[in-house]
Amino acid sequence: MPKFMDIHRNMKGLTADQLREAHQADLDIQGEEGVTFEHAWADTDSGEVFCLSEAPSAEAVQRIHERAGHKADEVHQLTLSV
């Protein structure tokens, strides 16, 4: 299953609770698109959130994020990994 890194920008000041709730909203529906979100990290100073997932496609990742209310700004398929 391909891996993906997606980026959400302009999330400056995000709290731990907000990140946890947003991530949970993804987890709650991810199975409907065959997506598995593995990790989410945030730089709360500059406002980026990074999500690592396994999914059938970038579109599946984005559909889950959109339905959960937080569309990603970039979704990258990770074609190489070390």
Binding site for a copy of itself (CB under 8 A): 3, 5, 14, 16, 19-20, 23, 39-46, 48, 50, 76-82
CB of 62 to a copy of itself, least distance (A): 15
CB of 44 to a copy of itself, least distance (A): 5
CB of 46 to a copy of itself, least distance (A): 6
What's the first-to-final CA gap in the chain, in angstroms? 16
Say how far apart CA 73 and CA 82 lie, in whole Å: 25
Residue whose C-alpha is closest to residue 65's, from 1, 32, 17: 32
